[in-house]
Amino acid sequence: MHWIKQGFVYGPDGSLPWARHTALTPTPLLKDAETIRVYAGFRDETGISRIGYVDLDAANPRRVKYVASEPVLDLGRNGAFDDNGVILGDVIRVGAEIRMYYVGFQLVSKAKFLAFTGLAISRDNGDSFERYSEAPILDRSSNGLYIRAIHSVMQTDDTFRVWYACGNGWEEINGVFYPQYNIRYIESADGIDFKGEGTLCVDVEGSEYRIGRPRVFRHRDRFIMHYTRGTIQGDYLAGHAESPDGMQWERRDEKLGIALSPEGWDSRHLCYPAVLNCGERTYMFYNGNDMGKDGFGYAILDGSEQ
């Protein structure tokens, strides 16, 4: 797979108090034939994220059609698992509804943070969402004491297949603690009730201490996973894995097909890619430097219609 960069698309201009900077983990949904809606986490001046969206022209995603003036998912109630920030997850259509799987953050006194998965549901084609529950649908477990964050959901006839980041420790780098996590797989009959510990499917290698934000899609006869990996040297880059069944994965980072730019907004970091098929075109939306502090851009799959 070879991706052709199309450039920077959108970042907050600082005019909205809840969205001063950053468009974190851009997650696209085809709203209609003419519109791609990209949900993302927008940070306030203290760094706390709320989920909003940007509507783009499906034929030319460089053209911004509309920017949400209010978050579609705000912070949870004080003391809840998502009272200190929410980011994407995944957004999928299930019947007449749209489900938003999101990651909620909570501060605690003896760890840097906790991050577990919630669910919100839209019945108006993604314009607003209501929480399914104030409790997480994927909570802590023995293998995920600090993080269990769903980032990719695929519905089949009778099963919801889920890939998520799972964290059980912390890495100290230059006196600062960073979360350690890897990627696991789990299934659910309804996409809401999850049982068991899940199965490890992609782990860290070499100097990496975290690998997460798995985004899984079908390409021809294979499952493809894009993820983001961090090293103790400060790299924060996307990677690529392939699987015949979505469970047994082989890392092939050299086949990602997109790399850092020589300069500019994605010259140091390239992270959180999310792929959308849009007619004859296949787009990748992604963040650049500093986990998307400037915003997000996109690329198009070489060989798809331009």
Q: Compute the C-alpha angle 117/100/16, nearest 5°.
A: 100
Separation between Cα atoms, residue 283 and residue 183, nearest integer Å: 24
Measured torsion, CA atoms of residues 294, 296, 297, 299, in degrees rounded to the nearest 10: 140
Taking only the tens of pLDDT, the chain with its 306 residues reads: 899 999 999 999 999 999 999 999 999 999 999 999 999 999 999 999 999 999 999 999 999 999 999 999 999 999 999 999 999 999 999 999 999 999 999 999 999 999 999 999 999 999 999 999 999 999 999 999 999 999 999 999 889 999 999 999 999 999 999 999 999 999 999 999 999 999 999 999 999 999 999 999 998 889 999 999 999 999 999 999 999 999 999 999 999 999 999 999 999 999 999 999 998 899 999 999 999 999 999 999 998 754
Tell me, yes or no, if the pTM score tops 0.75.
yes
Question: Minimal CA–CA distance to 100: which of 36, 192, 16?
Answer: 192
Give residue 11's identity as a one-letter amino acid code: G
Q: Which residue is associated with the tokens 């802590």?
A: 140
Helix (H) or strand (E) holding 218: strand 208-219
- DSSP class of residue 248 equals S
